[in-house]
Amino acid sequence: MDNGGQWKRGSSRPRWLLSLLCCCDDLGRSRLLGAPRCLRGPGAGGQKLLQKSRACDPAGPTPSAPAAPAPRLASANHSAPPKLGTKRLPQALIVGVKKGGTRAVLEFIRAHPDVRALGTEPHFFDRNYGRGLDWYRSLMPRTVGGQITLEKTPSYFVTQEAPRRIFNMSRDTKLIVVVRNPVTRAISDYTQTLSKKPDIPTFEGLSFRNRTLGLVDASWNAIRIGLYALHLESWLRYFPLAQMLFVSGERLIVDPAGEMGRVQDFLGVKRLITDKHFYFNKTKGFPCLKKTASSLLPRCLGKSKGRTHVQIDPEVIDQLREFYRPYNIKFYEAVGQDFRWE
Ligand SMILES: Nc1ncnc2c1ncn2[C@@H]1O[C@H](COP(=O)(O)OS(=O)(=O)O)[C@@H](OP(=O)(O)O)[C@H]1O
């Protein structure tokens, strides 16, 4: 139910004014100056980079709007609306973890007027590094004044080279890591893979090198990603802990405003996203964004977020919980936060 916004029918704003105000972002949304939003179809919160931008009429879906011709601008060469702002390299990144709740954090924080975020995952610091920083910058949304540019690619957290590469871009980059109980995270990850490849072996089968001996296969990605303490070590070689924020994926669901308050403080922006922005959608079973003056429809995340998980043998869950316990404790100690996954 990833609803896009749409402009009110019967708007009295003339079409030429809309065309000046409406700059569709990567999700087909217009955000400037409380401008109308471009119509967005289901699933338009596209996860894939470089997929073609959705066609977006800058005037928005206004079939009943008066068909007045757009007034000519002073200079004869100006057929396109002026582009406001500058594309900047991100000052903050959501670096992980996959299936932690990264999309929720991104969508919630981009409701803030001082934050502009790329809606797709650019995978620059893992897969696309060879394309260079200019390419990376060109993907970014335009920002004005002190607005923060943000992107999220959850695989960065487990990419060995990512910390050094990000440090080389800017040692001041703020890093957000959304973490979740590694056992639930692994099941979520597996559930997603299974939805695309129904023929893969069972979760129970993939989790162990030898199940009878209780030997967990830590080389399986779904297990490996949850070894947060190990991955964290690579980041701490380049960044101080104070430059990292660890968001609880569990609290993000029960108290989105609380976790988003921490995110806003960390980014140094005013706490504008509060409990007034959220409602609990019973059908979805998750918090969603309420409609606001600039976002005319309430918005839940898409169908791939909040899926029903595959049923896993409870004994296997216990074995994995035991397996992760020492890594979790090490992680709590390193970050100074108890996530209560035990
Ligand atoms: N508000 C809200 N709505 C829907 N889903 C929410 C929300 N907050 C957190 N979550 C949890 O986010 C999980 C998906 O995590 P990610 O967005 O990091 O996934 S991904 O790595 O980008 O694929 C997703 O995991 P699953 O439940 O396993 O699907 C959700 O539990």
Q: What is the pLDDT of residues 291-327, one digit of tens each?
A: 877 777 779 999 999 999 999 999 999 999 999 999 9
Burial of 17 (0-12, 13-18, 19+ CB in 10 A): middle
Q: Is 99 a catalytic residue?
A: yes
- Number of H helices and E strands in the chain, helices first, is 11, 11
Residue 204, pLDDT > 70, answer yes
Beta carbon of 95 within 6 Å of any ligand 1 atom: no
Q: Which residues define the annotated binding site?
A: 99-103, 180, 188, 305-309
Question: Which residue's C-alpha comes closest to atom 10 of ligand 1?
Answer: 101
Q: CA-to-CA distance for 93 and 1, rounded, in angstroms?
A: 26
Beta carbon of 305 within 6 Å of any ligand 1 atom: yes
Going by DSSP bridges, is the β-strand pair 148-152/208-210 parallel, antiparallel, or unpaired? unpaired
Beta carbon of 152 within 6 Å of any ligand 1 atom: no
Write down the pLDDT at residue 45.
Answer: 32
Instruction: Name the one residue in this structure whose structure tokens are 């065309």.
Output: 19
Per-residue confidence band for 105, with pLDDT thresholds at 50, 70 and 90: very high
The domain defined by 86-182+224-306 folds into: Rossmann fold (3.40.50)
Write down the pLDDT at residue 283.
Answer: 94
From the list 48, 52, 98, 99, the catalytic residue is 99
Q: Which residues define the annotated binding site for 3'-phosphoadenylyl sulfate?
A: 99-103, 180, 188, 305-309
Give yes or no for a contact between 5 and 296, defined as CB atoms under 8 angstroms apart. Answer: yes
- In angstroms, what is the span from residue 112 Cα to ligand 1's centroid? 20
Give yes or no for a contact between 124 and 62, defined as CB atoms under 8 angstroms apart. Answer: no
